[in-house]
Amino acid sequence: MLTDEQKKQIEIQDKLISDNIHKIKHRIVVFSGKGGVGKTTVSVNIAYGLQAKGNKTGILDADITGPNVPKMLGLSGDLLMENKRVMPKEINGVKVISIANIIPPDQPVIWRGPLRSKLLFQFLGDVEWGYLDYLVADLPPGTGDEIITMTQKMEPDLAIIVTTPQEISLVDSRRAVNMAKKMNIPKIGIIENMSGLMCPECGYRIDLFGSGGGKKQAEEMNVLYLGMLPIDTEARKMADEGKPIILENKNADISIAISNVVDIIKNMLI
């Protein structure tokens, strides 16, 4: 049972979050059933793709135990406070918040669900996002607490489900799609990542994990198909160096594919 004081605190926090997020035009959550399928890669590159097309954009790293966004952006340093509000970091014109800019590197976050959710409430309510066109939230794998917290409090208008083409990932992504449906997210789209590898020597396409499963799944589950991104060794290398491929090499096949996804998202969320 909650005390009256606790209920009042929750009300205050909900109001803070609601006022803050409604200054953001479009809110997007990126998740998947399976880990390691490219959620952070997709989140970061889509955010920069949106920004490159003239939109004020932010990234919320909602993966509290595996916060990879700052690493993929080469973003370090502590967060600053102004007028009792947390200021997001900014890199190449995109605002970013992550627990990785709060805790020392290499320190594990051994927090149970409620504590992780509490930090996400602060990311939504206490961070001074200002007016944004898009906020992209990179979620942890699975269908756990963070996904529920973010969809309830952030009120996203789009869920992007990332999958790789092989059955083991597609099976998990079906759970993710069903979760997005259950949480009443108005628009749901699937991206197939790591779809085919072009041999840089001979140009032959190797379907390492298969191809086409994401599109088929989107059709079967009656959700939007946003496109496929190829495996790109330069993108992986750039990510390790903290540089999103879409900023580093606009002409790479993967950057062109991301740019197409961004156009679909923009047209969808008018």
Ligand X SMILES: Nc1ncnc2c1ncn2[C@@H]1O[C@H](COP(=O)(O)OP(=O)(O)OP(=O)(O)O)[C@@H](O)[C@H]1O
Chain residues that interact with ligand X, rule: CB under 6 A: 32, 35-41, 63, 66, 68, 141, 193-194, 229, 231-232, 235-236, 239, 254
- Identify which of residues 71 and 153 has a Cβ nearer to ligand X in the complex: 71
* Sequence-separated (6 or more) residues with CB below 8 Å from residue 72: 40, 41, 44, 239, 242, 244
Among Mg ion, ligand X, none, partner that 38 touches (CB below 5 to 8 angstroms by kind) = ligand X
Nearest distance, CB of residue 89 and ligand X, angstroms: 19
Sign of CA dihedral 228, 66, 176, 185: negative
Residue number of the CB closest to Mg ion reads 40
- Identify which of residues 17 and 162 has a Cβ nearer to Mg ion in the complex: 162
- Identify which of residues 128 and 253 has a Cβ nearer to ligand X in the complex: 253
- CB–CB of 130/25 below 8 Å? no
Alpha-carbon gap, residue 233 to 191, rounded angstroms: 19
- Identify which of residues 43 and 51 has a Cβ nearer to Mg ion in the complex: 43
Alpha-carbon gap, residue 37 to 33, rounded angstroms: 9
Nearest distance, CB of residue 14 and ligand X, angstroms: 28
The residue whose two tokens read 């079967």 is 220
Among 20, 32, 40, 117, binds Mg ion (CB under 5 A): 40
Among ligand X, Mg ion, none, partner that 194 touches (CB below 5 to 8 angstroms by kind) = ligand X
Among Mg ion, ligand X, none, partner that 36 touches (CB below 5 to 8 angstroms by kind) = ligand X
Among Mg ion, ligand X, none, partner that 156 touches (CB below 5 to 8 angstroms by kind) = none
Sign of CA dihedral 192, 198, 203, 208: negative
- Identify which of residues 17 and 135 has a Cβ nearer to ligand X in the complex: 135
Among Mg ion, ligand X, none, partner that 243 touches (CB below 5 to 8 angstroms by kind) = none
Nearest distance, CB of residue 231 and Mg ion, angstroms: 17
Among 27, 34, 39, 243, binds Mg ion (CB under 5 A): 39
Query: Is residue 20 within the footprint of Mg ion (CB under 5 A)?
Result: no
Nearest distance, CB of residue 230 and Mg ion, angstroms: 19
Please give the residue ranges that form the binding site for Mg ion (CB under 5 A): 39-40, 68
